[in-house]
Amino acid sequence: MKKSLNLFTFILVVFVVSVSLTLSATGFAGPFDEDSTITIPKATEQEEPAAAKPEESSEAVVADDEIVSEPEDEPENELTPVLPTDEEDNVSDEPVASAPEEKDSNSKILPGYEDEKISIDGDNYCGQFAMTSVFRGLGIDMDAQDIYKASNPRGIFTSPPIIVDHLNKNGVKAQQRHNCSIEDIAKKIDDGKPVIVLVDSGDGTPHWVNIYGYTRDDSGKITSVRMRDSYWGTRSGHEMDIDEFTQAWQKPLGDTFLGKMLGYKNLMIDINGSSSGTPFATATEDNMASGVNEVVTGWNSRDWGQFAGGASKLILGLPGTVISMSSRIPSVLGNSMTGWGKDRMNQGGIGNTILGGAAVAGGSVLQAGGWLVNQVGNASSSVAKTIGNGIKSLFGR
């Protein structure tokens, strides 16, 4: 008995060391690196987004004297800073979103979002920008800076539960959903509601955008989506090709190591969803991210209820984190094995078929085992999350 426990301890130690080395390795591209966060560029360092297309309806926000004037032939949807203007304070006369309007026969664009004037200064406000866009589109007068101060004053990554929580607390019922489809987005827009989604803005940097429109081709296939966000659509709506969007939405953390480890995929904040709450499938990620968010935000704003809730989530979430993260390694390995096995099988021949079949079978077993262990980790994290939220509520949060 003691021998097996020693072996178990040894395996754990080896695992810890390997995880530590991986995470601290030079060149490791963390998804929340500040170096790669969404930064609103200064006027002098503007870059044209790869997929930006000039839009006839684009309209520049009136900027202050720091803005370099644009050449007339410049694409109107080019990335430019959005800076505070006097007339933008407490904007409340913007159109309220309702039923979608059809820009042309194949486009559905929710009214009220295209030319919202959202003023933010600084960097890393994508979650707050997307929330502001939704609030204003729904007729709720909110300022991005106030949302920022309330939900993420240190400018770190805004976790999905923080967005859901902030929307719920300010009168917009929201639900976090995973593994959604493009048609799920279209259905919400058909119902007159925008959605906030998490996409990869490049190099594995997660980025929140507000989707409020889409276009179909003659065969009914969705060809593009329309969005407001703090990177591409700062001044007016940005049209993104569906292939580019699908890729960015499927892997919001790109192909980085942590992107493969974490389970965020096709994540959607469903506005006016059927119920509020966070899903079980990513309970560990949500618990970790919101715990860190709440500890940092609570400390920064001296809100001890929020701090205690976040700390409880992190401390009680220790086992769930260890179990879930451990389960991702066999899952990733299994996925690679299955892909390799399928390639071998496609090459034909008896040898390849046997080898490929064995790899597919072994990979599937690894994936199934990883999934099962992950559920245990998620269950443990869910308990930690519930207790953390309960502690927050004791402080009236």
Partner 1 sequence: MGFFPALLAAYTIFAFLFQTIAVGFIAQDSRCLRHRLIWALFTLITGPVGILIYMFKGRKHV
Query: Which spans of this chain sit near partner 1 (rule: CB under 8 A)?
Result: 1-2, 5-6, 8-9, 12-13, 15-16, 19-20, 23-24, 28, 30-35, 37, 154, 156-157, 258, 288-289, 291-292, 296, 314-319, 321-323, 325, 376, 380
Where do we find the tokens 């890729």? 247
C-beta closer to partner 1: residue 29 or 345: 29
Q: How far is CA 253 from CA 8, 74, 312, in A?
A: 32, 31, 26
Can you tell me the distance from the alpha carbon of 168 to that of 175, in angstroms, rounded to the nearest whole number? 9
CB of 22 to partner 1, least distance (A): 10
CB of 179 to partner 1, least distance (A): 23
Please, what's the b/e burial string for 26-57 (b: 16 or more CB within 10 A of its CB; e: otherwise)? eeebbbbeeebbbbbeeeeeeeebebbeebee
Phi, psi of 88 (to 5 degrees): -85, -15
C-beta closer to partner 1: residue 21 or 62: 21
C-beta closer to partner 1: residue 246 or 326: 326
C-beta closer to partner 1: residue 23 or 361: 23
Give the SS3 label for residue 239.
Answer: strand
Can you tell me the distance from the alpha carbon of 285 to that of 32, in angstroms, rounded to the nearest whole number? 13
CB of 174 to partner 1, least distance (A): 23
CB of 277 to partner 1, least distance (A): 23
Tokens matching residue 358:
């064995």
Q: Which runs of consecutive H residues, i.e. helices, occur in the chain?
A: 2-24, 126-137, 144-151, 160-169, 182-190, 242-250, 257-261, 283-300, 304-316, 318-347, 350-394
Q: How far is CA 78 from CA 38, 114, 120, 311, in A?
A: 16, 15, 17, 42
C-beta closer to partner 1: residue 12 or 50: 12
CB of 321 to partner 1, least distance (A): 4
CB of 378 to partner 1, least distance (A): 13
C-beta closer to partner 1: residue 29 or 355: 29
